[in-house]
Amino acid sequence: MTPSSFRTTALVTGASAGLGHEFARQLAAQGHDLVLVARNASRLAETAEDLGRRYGITAEVLPADLTDDDDVAAVVERLKDARRPVGMLVNNAGIGLLHNFEDNHVGEEKSHLKLHAETAMVLTHAALEGMLERGEGRIINVASVAAFLPRGTYSAAKAWLVSFSRWANMAYRRRGIKVTAVCPGFTHTEFHDRMGMDKSVAPAWTWLRAERVVREGLADNASGKAVSIPSKRYKVVAAVARVVPARLMAGPARKPR
């Protein structure tokens, strides 16, 4: 750990479970103080207490539903607080929709798009203000290898996030800001359980562990990479997707279990 990164405060969204929890854990292990954001206040409090005790860091809790404008505004306010600067932002909060586009309520689709694209953009904009003044900062946008595949509105939203991250990394790298889109494939977290997906449809070899995804994502961000695709298997998937016709890469329609 470099002297400039020691005790930097990292704000992590979706921090109560899954990849967000693992980002918080690994950042705490590196010595970062934390601002933990998620809807579940009780789980956030448990996470903050646990990480503070284990790693001797300060973990602040900020309950928020990031599809709600008022809650997003509260997180923006925290990111812009010059008295308590945030040196790293991890836009991790996300949801999945089980059914095909035509079967989902348009309200669900709007919330889905807002969380993955609009909220990530708004929080990035807020974080950049202080980072640019200080001349350093790190931003991770958790996307998905689905961004490279024609797989409905989830893929479309994540493709936007990858494109945005690539541009932001080019635009702000010379000013000390590193921006990375982390693009995992299937990962053992609560994400697929919450959306009701039958996880047995994906072969065992396709599943990654959260620890690996976060470790590789943090390392790629630290080195200044615009896109991080954890594991060789998913690097191959992304590479193949660039040359194979889209109709061959489209997945089967998902059905409830």
Number of Cβ within 10 Å of residue 36's Cβ equals 26
> Taking a C-beta distance cutoff of 8 angstroms, is the pair 144, 152 a contact?
no
Give me the residues paired with residue 36 across strands: 12, 61
Amino acid identity of residue 141, one-letter, is: N
CA distance linking residue 217 with residue 212, whole number of Å: 8
Is 39 within 8 Å of 65 (Cβ atoms)? yes
CA gap 27, 68 in Å, rounded: 27
Count of CB atoms situated within 10 Å of the CB of 1: 11
Burial of 94 (0-12, 13-18, 19+ CB in 10 A): buried
Residue with token string 């489209």: 250
| Residue numbers annotated as active site | 154
Distance CA 55, CA 196 (A): 34
Closest CA to 218 of 48, 62, 12: 12
Closest CA to 242 of 229, 224, 253: 229
Residues 16, 32: Cα–Cα separation, whole Å: 17
